[in-house]
Structures are given as structure tokens and as C-alpha cells.
Amino acid sequence: MRRPLRLYAVAVAVVLALPGASPPAAPDPATAVSPASAVFPVSPAPSAAPPQLHVEGNRFVDRTGTPYRLLGVNRSGAEFSCVQGRGIFDGTVDDASVAAIAGWGANTVRVPLNEECWLGTANIDPRYAGAAYTSAIRDYVRRLTAHGLTPVLELHWSHGRYTGPSAGCADEHASCQKPMPDRRHSPAFWSSVAGTFKNTPEVVFDLFNEPYPDRATPDTERAWTCWRDGGNCPGIGYEVAGTQTLLDAVRATGARNPVLVGGLAYANDLSRWAAYAPKDPAGNLAAAWHVYNFNACADESCWSRALGPVAERVPLVAGEIGENTCAHAFTDRVMRWLDGRRASYLGWTWNTWDCASGPALISDYAGTPTAYGVGLRDHLRAVNPA
């Protein structure tokens, strides 16, 4: 369903850019603790370097064949700050801030990106585009891997004018979330990203944040066909690059890194994922799923019915989990369900926003959790004890 609060990158980020915006007061960790029950310690605690992963059946495994789950956080900012002319990241991304993420027991950080900033298109301030942007992302990836954290690089904001149902903006540029990636820039983006990191096998790629071609057409089959094949899709006014095209662009560089692919309905619907999944010659494909308490598929019955068959076939990665309550009862349920299937999950988001405006895990970059974030922190520490 439409994300009223996770239009974070348009609404929340802009609000936080205004004078007087400040992080919320830190909750008292002594009174904000949650038990992490029914956890399955599948993954070792982060070490000096993250593992080189590949898909084996419905699991990620390292080079020794040991199963590994991606457990951690999202680090939002690089998808919107550059296009808004405010910098490259939102908040601190120094070594201490990365160490704080690892200190939560995380082993993975998902990094949303902007294709126009990466490619250095003319509409982006050159201080935050092209070589400056790609260098900053490479530096951050090195910082993450130095702390044993697996980087997941993800295309979040893309080009293309869309003004149909659930449109985030009317701008053709990559200034909001679009229903599908675009043929004009997205394949070139992935060719460049994959070429940059093909010799860094610790990096995982996530092809496109949250597809929603199903909002542009009521025909579910045509929406899934658009998702896979792209082209001239019903209700979308630009030429779409389908997931097969993007995966082909990645593999054409020689990159064999694991690739995540999210389904329809803002990646909340995986009901036809197995039937329409792109073909990966490297055999290194996993399903990405996003879930918030306000999504359509937001209870255990739906998860078992819609996700169970996918999770039996390929690795399942909940690339974004969260809720708009400033608490963590819902995410606790999500993590328990995913633990039971040895699946992966990443909390949204390691940013110091007001959790009432968007799911913010922290109130400072030293890692002080919000009342929402403490649930993820305690759970990760239980799964990956130091």
C-alpha cells in the first residue's frame, strides 16, 4: 500500500533540512528494553571482513558453505541529499558512526542510491555528483567492510516523469520514488555500479527499491510483466527498464555479486515473484521484501501464504522493516517470523529523524536507540552476540 510516512525522503528529509529541526531526546535504555525471543543465531558476529556470499538453494552461504543471514539496518541519505543540493549523505557517516552500527550486532547495511547523482547528470550540483558522489560511496563501502559489515547497494530514486496513482512527484528527475526504473539511466547506473564493485564480492546489489507498476494499472499480470520485461508499461509515461534488463546489465560487467529483487506493491507483494523472476546466469538471485505495519500484507497469515513459497525457493531478505508507532511491537513480530525461516532483515532507518515522522532507529550517530529502535538493537544483539 501507499506509504504515507515512508515518503521519508521527500517529506522527512526536507523537514529535517529546515532551520530548527533537531533529533528527539534519547530514550532511557534502562527502561526501553525488549526481549529477543525465538531467535536463531545463524550468522556469526561481524569479524574483520564480511563474507563473500553466494546463493545455495534458499540460503546465503559463505565460502566455507556456512549459512549466513543479512541482519542490520538501512542508512538513508545518499538517495535524496545530493538531488536536493544538501550534500551526499544525511548526517554522519564517519568511522565512529559505522562502529556504532556494528555495536548493535548488525552485520549488514543497506545504502540507498540516486542514479542521477551516481551518473553525474547535468541537473545535479557537481559537488555532489559524478566522481564526487561515486568516490564518497566507495569510501563508505570501504568503511563498512572494514567493520565486518556487508554493504547492500540499492537503486532508490530514478529518472522518469510519472503523475499517475501514488505518484511521489511530477518531476522527471530522480527527486522522488518512481514506480519502476527507467530505460534512459537505470541500466547505465547498474553497469557502472556493478563494474565498480565486481571485484568487491562482499557487496550485495538490490536492483530497485520499491516497484509499484501495479498502481499504474489494475491488470496484475501486466504489472508483473512490466516488472520483469519493462518497455512501454500501462499507465507509466516513460520507457521502463525491467528487472531482467537491470540484472543483465549487472552480469554483463562480469560481476557475480548476489542480487536482490523486490516485488510489486512497494516490494510488499511477492505473490507472483517466483513465476516472473528474472533469469540469473550466475545463479545468485534472492527475493527482497519490505514490510511496515501499514502495508497490505502485514500479518503472519499473509506472510506464510505469500512469502512462504518464495522463501522455500530462494533467500528472502526483508530489506526494510519498520512501523509508524514509535514503538517496536510490530517489528518484533516480523523478526520472530523471519527468524523462524532463517531469513534476513534490515531495519529502517539509521537516521536521527523524529520517529513520529518516519521510522528512525536512533537519536544520535553514537547509536542511542529511539523507543522504536531499541527493539531491533536488542534483537540483533541476541542473534549476533559480541
Q: Each residue of 2-41: pLDDT tens digit?
A: 333 333 333 333 333 323 333 333 333 332 333 333 333 3
**175 alpha carbon, distance to own chain's centre:** 17
CB of 102 within 8 A of CB of 89? Answer: no
Neighbours of 55 (CB within 10 A): 18
Q: What pTM did the predictor assign? A: 0.90
What is the per-residue pLDDT for 27? 34
CB of 10 within 8 A of CB of 354? Answer: no
Single out the residue of 125, 106, 114 nearest to residue 46, CA to CA: 106
Neighbours of 45 (CB within 10 A): 15
Beta strand segments in the chain, E: 54-56, 59-61, 67-68, 71-74, 108-114, 150-157, 204-206, 230-231, 240-241, 259-262, 285-292, 316-322, 344-347
Terminal-to-terminal C-alpha distance of the chain? 37
CB of 97 within 8 A of CB of 371? Answer: no
State whether residue 379 is helix, strand or coil: helix
What is the per-residue pLDDT for 48? 73
Sign of CA dihedral 245, 246, 247, 252: positive
Neighbours of 40 (CB within 10 A): 14
CB of 194 within 8 A of CB of 249? Answer: yes
State whether residue 218 is helix, strand or coil: coil
The number of residues in the chain equals 386
**195-228 pLDDT, tens digit each:** 999 999 999 999 999 999 999 999 999 999 999 9
Residues of the chain with pLDDT under 70: 1-47, 386
For the chain, how long is the longest CA-to-CA vector?
55
Query: How many Å apart are CA 241 and CA 232, to the nearest integer?
Result: 9
What is the per-residue pLDDT for 284? 98
Query: How many Å apart are CA 49 and CA 148, to the nearest integer?
Result: 4
Nearest-5° Cα angle at 333, 90 to 203: 45
Strand partners, 322: 292
Strand partners, 287: 261, 316
Query: How many Å apart are CA 296 and CA 278, to the nearest integer?
Result: 24
Neighbours of 347 (CB within 10 A): 29
What is the per-residue pLDDT for 355? 79
Q: Which long-range contacts (CB under 8 A, 24 or more apart) does 296-301 make?
A: 296/1, 296/265, 296/268, 296/269, 297/265, 297/268, 297/269, 298/330, 300/333, 300/337
Query: How many Å apart are CA 306 and CA 383, to the nearest integer?
Result: 25
Helix (H) or strand (E) holding 343: none
As to burial, measured by CB atoms within 10 angstroms (0-12 exposed, 13-18 middle, 19+ buried), residue 204 is buried
Phi, psi of 239, deg, nearest 5? -75, 125
What is the per-residue pLDDT for 47? 53
SS (H, E, C) 34-98: CCCCCCCCCCCCCCCCCCCCEEECCEEECCCCCEECCEEEECCCCCCCCCCCCCCCCCCCCHHHH
Alpha carbon distances (Å) from 215 to 63, 241, 363: 41, 17, 34
